[in-house]
Structure 1
Amino acid sequence: MENREITLADIFLDILSESQDKGAKLMAERIKAAIKSPEILELVNICVINALGYKSKISSKTVDNAIDSIVSFVHSEIDSSNLSDNDKEKEKNSYKHFAKSLGKILKENLQVAQQLI
């Protein structure tokens, strides 16, 4: 296991993992796998900090890199699915478009909140 400090995101995910809701547990496990990317970890941590009512800053490039890492992570999951190759490509393209749109909205909101550097 890598040596890094425990973040609020880690604590939040540990609590979520203990939920009795199977969907919440699955979501926590998927996020734990994804946050091995430092950019995704930073973005998730910013989201948790914001949810607690605090403000922290993040760079536009880090948000872009996190979105790209999330897309790569989801594309890997799609590749390992039982979908046909054609359906895999449709899913990948759809998800990539969705993630890029979400990233744009996220950066706009962070900019308005003066958290984007």
Structure 2
Amino acid sequence: MAFTSPSGREAVNRSWENTSNRTARTAHARFGLTARFARIADPDGVLPAEELAAKVKGLRRAHFAKLGRKSAEARREREAKAASDAAALAAILGAPSVDATAAAAVAALVDAS
């Protein structure tokens, strides 16, 4: 769950600060994801444990690879938009060119808002 408001982020950070056992706090979610992959891999529950474990491992790797790919795509889109915004700003201000540093600065301003 993503909190975008400052008070929401503050509450989440405070909650994690007060968590002494992070592994225990996230155990239910990890178990649930593993169980989901097991249901996908073996809906009838007939596979031997070793085969099921291998399939679950593969599904987990594919899932996190997909998340990584989507994250990279989102970063590229944000960077492209920041570069475009920086170029537009440079054109408005009459600047001759915009470098990557300026685009990164605009991206930081966009992310901060």
Instruction: Flag whether TM exceeds 0.5 (same fold).
Output: no
Q: Larger relative CO (CA 8 A, sep 6+): 1 or 2?
A: 1
TM-score (norm 2): 0.34
